[in-house]
Amino acid sequence: MAHLDEARYGRTCLLVLNVCPFTLRHVIDDYFTKQGSPDIQDFLEKNKHDLYHIMAKKCCCRLIPSRVTPMYRSQWDLLYKRNLLPCKGKCSVGGDCPCKFDAIPGITSDVMDITLCCLVIKNICQGTAINMTHIDKIRDIRNKLIHASSATLDEPTYNGYWSDVKAAILDLANMVSPTVHTDTVKMIQDLETRVMNRCELEELKKVIVTLQKVEEIVSEVEKDIEKTNKSVEHVEEDVNRIEEDVNQIEEDVNQLEGDISHIAAEVTKQGESSKRKISDLSDRIGEHDQKIKQIKQELDSRTDNISEQSRQIYDHESQIDAHGRQIDDHGRQIDDHGRQIDDHGRQIDGHDRQIDDHGRQIDDHGRQIDDHGRQIDDHGRQIDDHGRQIDDYGRRIDDHGRQIDDHGRQMDDHGRQIDDHGRQIDDHGRQIDEQAKQIADIKQSIPYGKVPPRQGNI
């Protein structure tokens, strides 16, 4: 009974992992042909903006459309390569955008596994005759098989999975063409009559375990990259706010200089002393203005440093992506082993030694994946180090912000001093007016042509 449960599980896995991708690739090829694209490269180029947003990334359009299913960077790298062209919009510092990528020349749908096929169909082929319920059903059963707690299926569960997947994939194949439908029927019939021996099932279990490890590694890497991107965005927002504060202070200083110039013009006739006071105040505000400009230059330098750190982080992401591509290579090798397993199923007698050899090869690939996992851990630690450096820059920026606040308070003090001097000037003006009035009164009291007698002794 245990062997029958394992055989049901193995047969269903081969249906989902081998037969379904064959048909789904034809669905994609049929779709882009009907859309007027000469090949899948042109189709991917036209839809790269939408696919890019499925990774929940911001870009020059500043929008993040809602995504139907998530896309990993390792999947993106199977379809696109980075170019050397500048962004057509305005990307954030060190950021990516779809403008900086091109569809890989000569690409075919053969690079897509069942997960990537479902993702492209769900997100790009909406509003077509394709029954998306079939895609959801196939993807759901695939996930249940890969993440099952044991590599067995009882008969009721097997019958349910088999009938659901078979009906869905045959309906999709029939939508494409009679030839694809016939080929799909033939592949399913071969699986239904196939005898699954013990060695073949053990080989398949190793493939499933490897797929589980790859998915776990990719998921953790994507989480680390997302955290890093959010940290960089927060630092950029803080720098922008500080630059706005500095610009506002500069505007205030310019306004004060204008006011002082106006006051100086009004009191020009009041004596050199007042003009010297105004000149001194102007010089002092000029000194503060120069200090603010120096602070802004230092902030610009810090921003450049943060940008450099961001670029370094993205370089590390690229290294992680390279490891992702290596993992994808192992995935394709696993697919190759799956096809070899099919051959072994048809040629059970005499091929046991070849199956053992492939088992040793898979063990080697497992060790390679473990090595890549350690390398990814090393890159994760490097990313953490850069995060701490970014935190240090944030604290320094906070210190400069406080210095700017201090300069602002000093400017307020100087403003109050200017107000005091203005009031003093007003007082002097009133005194002069009073003296002028007294002189005028004296002149009026003197009779014309007469001089009043001098009072007191000479």
| Tally of residues, the chain | 458
Tell me the β-bridge partners of 102. Answer: 81
Gap between the Cα atoms of 457 and 445, Å rounded:
22
Tell me the β-bridge partners of 80. Answer: 103
Q: Which residue has the higher pLDDT, 254 or 39?
A: 39
| The predicted structure's pLDDT at residue 33 | 94
Picking from 109, 103, 112, the residue whose alpha carbon sits closest to that of residue 48 is 103
Picking from 79, 86, 68, 76, the residue whose alpha carbon sits closest to that of residue 43 is 79
Residue 94: pLDDT band (50, 70, 90) is: very low
Report pLDDT digits (tens) over 138-160: 999 999 999 988 889 999 999 99
How much is the average pLDDT of 106-113?
94
Picking from 399, 379, 386, 303, the residue whose alpha carbon sits closest to that of residue 92 is 303
The structure tokens 């882009």 sit at 32
User: Which of 64-68, 176-180, 206-210, 308-312 has the highest mean predicted lDDT (pLDDT)?
Assistant: 176-180
Gap between the Cα atoms of 152 and 78, Å rounded:
32
Q: Which residue has the higher pLDDT, 289 or 94?
A: 289
CB atoms within 10 A of CB 354: 14
| The predicted structure's pLDDT at residue 319 | 64
State phi, psi for 188 to the nearest 5 degrees.
Answer: -70, -40
| The predicted structure's pLDDT at residue 219 | 62
Tell me the β-bridge partners of 81. Answer: 102
User: Does residue 93 register a pLDDT over 50?
Assistant: no
- Give the least confident one: 241-245, 293-297, 400-404, 415-419: 241-245
Q: Which residue has the higher pLDDT, 239 or 283?
A: 283
Q: Which residue has the higher pLDDT, 443 or 420?
A: 420
Report pLDDT digits (tens) over 144-200: 999 988 889 999 999 999 999 999 999 999 999 999 999 999 999 999 988 888 877
| The predicted structure's pLDDT at residue 405 | 87
